[in-house]
Amino acid sequence: MPSSKSNLMLSSDISDFREMAISNEREPVEKSTTSLIENNGYQDSVYINAAKIFQGIRNEKPQDKILVRYGNELVPSLPDFKDECSQRSSYELAFSALKYQDLLENILLDSCFYPCQSIPDELTSLVVVMLYDLQDRKFQARQISDEEESIPEVRDVEHYLYSFKTKLAAALARCRIKHDALSIEYILPETLRKQEQRASALPLYAWINTLKRSLEDIYKELKKEGFTKVESVSDFEGYTYCLDKHCHDVLVFPASLKEEILNLELFTGYKLILQDKSRSLAVHSVKALLNMDDDIIVAHMGSWLTAAHMSVLSNQSTSKVFVCGVKSQAKEVELKELFTRMECGNIELLHEDFTEIEPTDQRLQKAKVILLLPRCSGLGVSNPIEFILNEHEDAGLLRDLSQGSVAENKLHILAETQLQELMHAMRFNKVQAIVYCTCSVYPEENEAVVNKALESGVEGSKVQPYRLSPPLWCNSEIEGPSDIFFKMEPSEISNCCFLAVLARQRDPAEVMSVKDILARAAAKGLLEGLDIGKSSKREEKRKKKSKVTQQRNVPKDTGVQTNIVEFLNREMISINTNSEVSPIKATGGVPQKNVNQTNSSIQLKKITKPISNSSLPGMLKNTPTLSSMSKVFERRTHIRKPRAEDKMVVLKPVEIVLPPVMVPYFNPQGNKSQISAQHYYYRWIGIKSSARDLFIPSLSKRLVKPKETLPSTMVKHPRPWI
């Protein structure tokens, strides 16, 4: 007995010293445990659910080293959580017991609590999680509410543990002395201790559901709730928030306000969605690559909130978001109800896993971007519980996270699976880009996977190959080609994020239409407030009619037009001694029946020197000079190339006077040709038909009398061309 009392006193002294030394570190962690009421214990259901989780994720030892046996699973069914609060508390308690599994087992053995004849091995998991909570309460009794539902197994284990509290406390004190640790936290590896410190201060990230409220409306509602907008995370003090520097629709809140903001109507009404920033970065990377009518493939079912965010940022009426891997009918119903409450109407759920879907699947032929969020080690996540719950990841990840590292063989398996999924995504020929995102700190899961996939050439030779492309929203943060990946290291303000964008090389012969450019701008949010949608059937019929009219209106005398252009070309060459004029592009090499807008355009360089009057007919001295005419031509040549997608625009007729064409005539009394005193002028007029930018020279029927005689220096043509 004396030794027992001395051990108890030593335990009490060390516990008091521990409380003074690390009270500042423990306070944020205790606040995050929502089901813990003043550190007085959990409800019975939380202990049972935590024991079920721990039974599935505990570390199994070799047979020759097993000292504590856990028996079979406690209950074959999955944990049944009353609400999200109890679910989070159950996972936190199970993860804490997992981190200290070796320590807790040693305490049970050292205190002679185990083996216990009264408690079967099937309840050992429940004993371990309740022992952790008991030592965290400094072996004080749990306060039980009268309204709480009682579970017999929990009450029996609690009774036996409390009867051994003195021996258990002494065994804990001896373990701390053995490891020279002020508290059990110092027994953990340094990586885990730093992780817990980051988790306690990590800000909360929430994206705005703009299908329910606009950004401005959210700012106003937060102001009504007493929140103040600040510039950055460093300015957090009290009820404050700031905007994320990468994603315009993501808000950042202090970690200490988690309970308050989760109870706000903005969060309960799905107007603000709490999610890790890495997922928002991936979604915005996809959005920057979208055109208006493009579909998106979300390769993993676990990212429910990611799929909803992708839906919010896409066009609800013309784009679809396909989510792969929804196996059960019950899960499909649950997700549809969730997306309905969030007003996401363009999400399609697929039962097959992503790797089971063929690239030629007819449902996915409009898909242009694949969002690939493969299962990774997740060691870059500071708060693994939030990551598991929000991303609906496998709880088995907690086993590796509790050790602070991943075994080499398991890392190899993860990397191989990621590579196969990425290579499968590259086989979709209609897809133009892939966004690959992980929360891992290992290059084997990040750069190595992407580089191997690019080197494989799995996309084939019939399509354009993939290449690395920096995310469009972070060009300023990428310094050179060697740093083309986007990476965020785990810190006190964010979790780890690795992001790679694989985009197909653009075909040099491919020309982007105006519709595609406008669609890409609309997808990036640059055309907010403008209605850029699909053209109606009436407009499409109108375009077809205009094409037919355009073909019918092509004049039959294209041979005369060609001769006129050739003549003007020769005239310009003869005048080139006094002024610098580029030859007019002749259309003689183009078949006459296929004259179109592009071949009928005329390009003239701007005349740098005025033309002397001596080289022009006298009648042209009072007319606009070629310099002014060339300006008109120049303005015409700068008109952009028409496309079938553009709306029809009726151009006004323009009259341009060109140098005269002198038509020779023959004297009936002789064969000597003479120049007629009458001159025919040719004008370039704009046709009022639907053939835009098609200017056809026509012969003016009006004869213009010269105001003075022609000079003798006029260029004569020995062989008339008409």
What are the two backbone dihedrals, phi and then psi, of residue 93, each rounded to the nearest 5 degrees?
A: -65, -40
Q: Report how far residue 193's alpha carbon sits from residue 404's, in angstroms, rounded to the nearest whole number.
A: 10
| CATH number of the domain residue 383 falls in | 3.40.50.150
Same domain for 290 and 142: no
Residue 672 located in a structural domain: no
Segment 185-231, tens digit of pLDDT: 888 888 888 888 888 889 999 999 999 999 999 999 999 999 999 99
Domain end call among 504, 539, 563: 504
Least confident interval from 332-336, 385-389, 521-525:
521-525
Give, as one character, the DSSP assignment of residue 95. Answer: H
Same domain for 283 and 183: no
Residue 293 · residue 315 · CB < 8 Å: yes
Residue 320 · residue 295 · CB < 8 Å: yes
Same domain for 282 and 184: no
Residue 556 located in a structural domain: no
Same domain for 471 and 329: yes
Half-sphere CA count of 153, side-chain side, radius 13 A: 18
Q: How confident is the model at residue 279 (pLDDT cuts 50, 70, 90)?
A: very high
Same domain for 292 and 441: yes
User: Among residues 242, 344, 376, 439, which one is catalytic?
Assistant: 439
pLDDT (average), residues 126-146: 91
Active site residue 439: yes
Q: How confident is the model at residue 468 (pLDDT cuts 50, 70, 90)?
A: very high
Residue 390 located in a structural domain: yes
pLDDT at 514: 61
Q: How confident is the model at residue 611 (pLDDT cuts 50, 70, 90)?
A: very low
Residue 500 has pLDDT above 60, yes or no: yes
Residue 203 · residue 142 · CB < 8 Å: no
Structural domains of the chain, count: 2
Residue 438 · residue 376 · CB < 8 Å: yes
Same domain for 145 and 289: no
Residue 426 located in a structural domain: yes
Same domain for 281 and 180: no
Domain end call among 188, 207, 230: 188
Segment 405-450, tens digit of pLDDT: 888 898 999 999 999 999 999 999 999 999 999 999 999 999 999 9
Q: Report how far residue 172's alpha carbon sits from residue 163's, in angstroms, rounded to the nearest whole number.
A: 16
pLDDT at 63: 83
Residue 15 located in a structural domain: no
Range(s) of the domain holding residue 387: 277-504
Helix ranges restricted to H, 77-144:
84-99, 101-110, 124-136
Residue 608 located in a structural domain: no
Domain end call among 188, 205, 233: 188
Residue 365 located in a structural domain: yes
Same domain for 183 and 282: no
Q: Does residue 249 have a known ligand-binding role?
A: no
Residue 162 located in a structural domain: yes
pLDDT at 39: 63
